[in-house]
Amino acid sequence: QQPVQSPQAVILREGEDAVINCSSSKALYSVHWYRQKHGEAPVFLMILLKGGEQKGHEKISASFNEKKQQSSLYLTASQLSYSGTYFCGTDTSNTGKLIFGQGTTLQVKP
Amino acid sequence: GAVVSQHPSWVICKSGTSVKIECRSLDFQATTMFWYRQFPKQSLMLMATSNEGSKATYEQGVEKDKFLINHASLTLSTLTVTSAHPEDSSFYICSARARGQNNSPLHFGNGTRLTVT
């Protein structure tokens, strides 16, 4: 079952922060976050495994609440290069197969 | 490292013809590859899991006889769209995970844009 992302779209000014949420109706073994720019392949951002961990990558971090079956992606001090569509991919079968959410489109303006 | 190459990057074909898309892992071995399809402004929809040396596993609603998958080696999987129709026009993306690393990142190819006229 496809995870649900919110919000569907976000418009920010450079330097502002954003949070993207990903919610699953099934128990999660892992959550993967990707960013895709128009016409390009998705680019890996980070992976979170069972254990409620939080990870960071420059000014982008994420959390994973196993009990709530949710993950959130945090973008701080956004840059123009952060623009794109963000997808969470969830593994609910521990097979490595990822089902992606519908995506959150982020637009960062100068 | 962990590069996935997909070919062709775009193809235009006539209705009724077949198109083959190749997905190669260039610097790692992949026992499993995944094929996704993406329509404009939509999500990545998993079509099938390609397993080296065995039959592919298709997601519900995906026609096995229409989307033929072959994973003949640890570095190559192919997707053949048979008897293509305009509604098959889409962006097809393959992805692979290094052998034996179930929770490692999926590495995506650059995708193939298929247009059926």
pLDDT at A52: 61
How large is the average pLDDT for residues B33-43? 94
**How do residues B46-96 score in pLDDT, each as one tens digit?**
999 998 888 999 999 999 999 999 998 989 999 999 999 999 999 999 999
- Which candidate, B41, B29, B8, B24, places its Cα nearest to that of B95? B24
Mean pLDDT of residues grouped by 10 in chain A (110 residues)? 96 97 94 93 89 71 91 95 96 89 97
Query: How does strand B10-13 pair with strand B112-116?
Result: parallel
Residue of A nearest to B107 (CA): A44
Tens of pLDDT, residues B13-25: 999 999 999 999 9
- Residue A56: predicted pLDDT: 67
What was the pLDDT predicted at A103? Answer: 97
At B103, list the tokens: 């929770």
Q: Is A3 on the interface with B (CB under 8 A)?
A: no
pLDDT above 80: residue B2 = no
At A55 the pLDDT is: 67
Pick left, alpha or beta for residue B66 (phi over 0 → left; psi -120 to 50 → alpha; otherwise beta).
Answer: alpha
Give just the sign of the alpha carbon dihedral B80, B30, A45, A5: positive
Residue B51 pLDDT: 87
Residues of chain B in Cβ contact (below 8 Å) with chain A: 32, 34, 36, 42-46, 49, 93, 97, 102-111
Sign of CA dihedral A78, A84, A85, A90: negative
pLDDT of the residue at A17: 96
Q: What is the pLDDT of residue B91?
A: 96
B26 within 8 A of B109, measured Cβ to Cβ: no
Instruction: Kindly determine whether residue B44 and residue A100, on different chains, have CB atoms separated by under 8 Å.
Output: yes
Which residue in the set A32, A41, A98 is minimally distant from B110, CB to CB?
A41
Residues facing residue A89 across a β-bridge = A32, A100
Identify which of B81, B108, B87, B111 has the alpha carbon closest to the alpha carbon of residue B17: B81
Name the pLDDT band for B102 (thresholds 50, 70, 90): low
